[in-house]
């Protein structure tokens, strides 16, 4: 309908109605296009993921000092990491449920605050038991943020830039995040500890410095509106039109009295559906997608975690000192950085299933060669190639994952697949790989990992293609 200026100070900017209100919204988002506000939202979400990875890894860098100061066993140190990952699984699912009910933006902020405050408490932990408990709190925040960041980006970004944006997030996590964690640890445990003259305090500074992401939460509170798709599903149409108008004008928020473009008619309602429930993911309409998402997450996490943990051990078995093996492993991880950059390009240009299948097959072939020949040169070259392929895979995977689920269960679906990947892939994968390495040797371990890589393209082939298509509501 046409509205004059006297009616709520609004102007009309509607687009033709598609088969659903979500289709109409997708057309509006695509018509507005990518602009600096989208980039700001992407940067906030990517920084949340960057700090997430640093928080995951810094306990490992602090471990030697903890062992020395508190006389801890290796098993006790391992529990600090395991407790974090298990808590991440819980936090991911809980946040997914409530993000589909209360909104993406508030839960994203809450989770950053949880792990930031947890980091500050960890810095003052008087003993191992308190630190273990605090790492559980930190893990809950990390798991929630990990799942929500990609959902936020998927629902804000126009479809043509969605894959490249998700790949950028993946690069910040898997590439830049790991390097930032090691750099931060090197600075604090080295020069900073030397200046302080009390090395026993260095691990406390390393853990406590991660309170600074709380500043990101404050920035997000001022700079990140709720996602348009959630607003539509929540029937908050006035707020939806305010958000879309601000995006069109390249602003975060409108001022009082500013004209509001009516992109979606007041009273427009998507088909009513109940609040997100975990059992909805096992409905026949979603079961296949959820199974594919969980298999892809599990195999990806298992492959990355196992290779990261055990490639240095394989190099030691080839005759290298531990320090030299660590240096060579660092060289191999440059493949992940390069893969992250390539992933941004291919994610934007190529179909999701093609990228996922190609990268998985490349990894499987590289590992199969290592089954037959394990020279230093091959371990470095093929390890580099595998790290590159898996990071390209990761970039497309994190774009693909939220595209598989409808809005009403999108955050929960992403969280569930992530949780399965964390528990089965990231936790049990390295354990099983280590058992094979200890019992049968590296040849058997590489054979098993190659077999895991072959599961990935099989799963991808059975999934729907989502490249440059509207977000699914089926």
State how far the Cα of 379 lies from the Cα of 311, in Å rounded to an integer: 8
* 98/44 same-domain check: yes
- Residue 267 counted as domain residue: no
State how far the Cα of 60 lies from the Cα of 16, in Å rounded to an integer: 54
State which of 210, 231, 262 marks the end of a domain.
262
Pair 35, 249: CB distance under 8 Å: no
Q: Which residues does residue 285 pair with via DSSP β-bridges, in sequence order?
A: none
How far CA 317 is from CA of 89, 385, 409, in Å, comes to 34, 21, 47
- Residue 313 counted as domain residue: yes
Give 261's DSSP letter. E
State how far the Cα of 62 lies from the Cα of 65, in Å rounded to an integer: 6
- Residue 7 counted as domain residue: no
Pair 95, 152: CB distance under 8 Å: no
Pair 358, 392: CB distance under 8 Å: no
Tell me whether residue 11 is exposed, middle or buried, using C-beta atoms within 10 angstroms of its C-beta: 0 to 12, 13 to 18, 19 or more: middle
- Residue 271 counted as domain residue: no
CA atoms within 13 A on the CB side of 157: 29
Q: How many domains does the chain have?
A: 2
* 312/257 same-domain check: no
Q: Read out DSSP for 274-309?
A: PPP-GGGGGSHHHHHHHHHHHHHHHHHHHHHHHHHH
Neighbours of 213 (CB within 10 A): 23
* 296/221 same-domain check: no
* 299/159 same-domain check: no
> Helix (H, G, I), strand (E, B), or coil: what is residue 453?
helix
* 199/65 same-domain check: yes
- Residue 391 counted as domain residue: yes
* 283/255 same-domain check: no
* 78/212 same-domain check: yes
- pLDDT given at position 16: 40
State which of 232, 262, 292 marks the end of a domain.
262
State which of 262, 294, 313 marks the end of a domain.
262
* 297/366 same-domain check: yes
State how far the Cα of 455 lies from the Cα of 187, in Å rounded to an integer: 40
* 198/322 same-domain check: no
* 301/210 same-domain check: no
> Helix (H, G, I), strand (E, B), or coil: what is residue 142?
helix
- Residue 407 counted as domain residue: yes
- Residue 293 counted as domain residue: yes
| Domain that includes residue 93, residue range | 21-262
> Helix (H, G, I), strand (E, B), or coil: what is residue 267?
coil
Q: What is the CATH number of the domain that holds 207?
A: 1.20.1250.20
The number of helix segments (H) and strand segments (E) in the chain equals 19, 2
* 126/211 same-domain check: yes
State how far the Cα of 455 lies from the Cα of 360, in Å rounded to an integer: 8
Instruction: Measure the CA dihedral 309/315/319/321, to 10°.
Output: -60
* 156/239 same-domain check: yes
- pLDDT given at position 10: 44
State how far the Cα of 63 lies from the Cα of 174, in Å rounded to an integer: 21
In what helix (H) or strand (E) does residue 11 lie, and over which residues does it extend? strand 10-12
The separation between CA 326 and the C-alpha centre of its own chain, rounded to angstroms, equals 26
- pLDDT given at position 323: 53
Q: What's the pTM value of the predicted model, to 2 decimals?
A: 0.80
Q: Mean pLDDT per 10-residue run, the chain (474 residues)?
A: 38 46 87 92 88 83 83 79 84 90 89 90 93 93 87 90 88 80 81 77 89 80 86 90 93 84 79 70 90 94 81 76 67 84 88 93 91 80 90 91 90 90 83 84 89 88 86 72
- Residue 397 counted as domain residue: yes
Pair 121, 134: CB distance under 8 Å: yes
- pLDDT given at position 397: 93
How far CA 150 is from CA of 38, 79, 256, in Å, comes to 14, 28, 31
């Amino acid at each position: 309908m046409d509205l004059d200026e006297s009616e709520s100070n609004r102007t009309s900017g509607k687009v033709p109605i598609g088969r659903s209100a979500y289709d109409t919204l997708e057309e509006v988002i695509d018509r507005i296009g990518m602009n600096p506000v989208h980039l700001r939202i992407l940067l906030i979400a990517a920084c949340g993921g960057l700090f997430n990875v640093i928080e995951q890894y810094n306990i490992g860098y602090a471990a030697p000092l903890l062992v020395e100061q508190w006389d801890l066993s290796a098993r006790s140190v391992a529990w600090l990491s395991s407790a974090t990952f298990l808590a991440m699984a819980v936090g991911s699912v809980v946040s997914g449920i409530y993000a589909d009910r209360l909104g993406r933006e508030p839960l994203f902020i809450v989770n950053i605050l949880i792990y930031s405050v947890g980091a500050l408490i960890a810095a003052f932990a008087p003993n191992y038991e308190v630190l273990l408990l605090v790492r559980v709190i930190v893990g809950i925040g990390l798991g929630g943020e990990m799942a929500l960041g990609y959902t936020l980006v998927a629902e804000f970004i126009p479809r043509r830039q969605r894959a490249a944006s998700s790949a950028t997030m993946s690069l910040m996590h898997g590439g830049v995040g790991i390097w930032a964690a090691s750099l931060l640890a090197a600075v604090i445990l080295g020069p900073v500890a030397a200046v302080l003259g009390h090395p026993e305090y260095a691990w406390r500074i390393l853990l406590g410095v991660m309170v600074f992401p709380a500043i990101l939460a404050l920035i997000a509170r001022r700079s990140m509106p709720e996602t348009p798709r959630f607003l539509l599903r929540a029937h908050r149409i006035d707020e939806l039109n305010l958000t879309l108008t601000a995006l069109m004008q390249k602003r975060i928020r409108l001022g009082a009295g500013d004209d509001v473009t009516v992109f979606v008619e007041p009273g427009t309602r998507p088909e009513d559906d109940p609040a997100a429930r975990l059992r909805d993911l096992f409905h026949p309409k979603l079961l296949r997608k959820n199974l594919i998402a969980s298999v892809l997450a599990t195999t990806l996490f298992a492959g990355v975690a196992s290779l990261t943990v055990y490639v240095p051990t394989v190099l030691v078995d080839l005759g290298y000192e531990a320090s030299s093996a660590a240096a060579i492993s660092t060289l191999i991880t440059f493949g992940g950085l390069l893969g992250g950059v390539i992933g941004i390009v291919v994610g934007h240009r190529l179909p999701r299933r093609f990228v996922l299948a190609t990268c998985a097959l490349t990894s499987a072939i590289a590992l199969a060669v290592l089954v037959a020949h394990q020279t230093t040169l091959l371990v470095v070259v093929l390890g580099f190639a595998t790290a590159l392929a898996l990071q390209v895979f990761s970039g497309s995977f994190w774009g693909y994952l939220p595209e598989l689920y409808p809005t009403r269960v999108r955050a929960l679906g992403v969280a569930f697949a992530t949780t399965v990947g964390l528990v089965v892939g990231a936790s049990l994968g390295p354990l099983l790989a280590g058992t094979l390495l200890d019992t049968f040797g590296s040849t058997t371990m590489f054979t098993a990992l190659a077999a895991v890589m072959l599961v990935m393209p099989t799963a991808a082939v059975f999934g729907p293609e989502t490249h440059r298509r509207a977000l699914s509501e089926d």
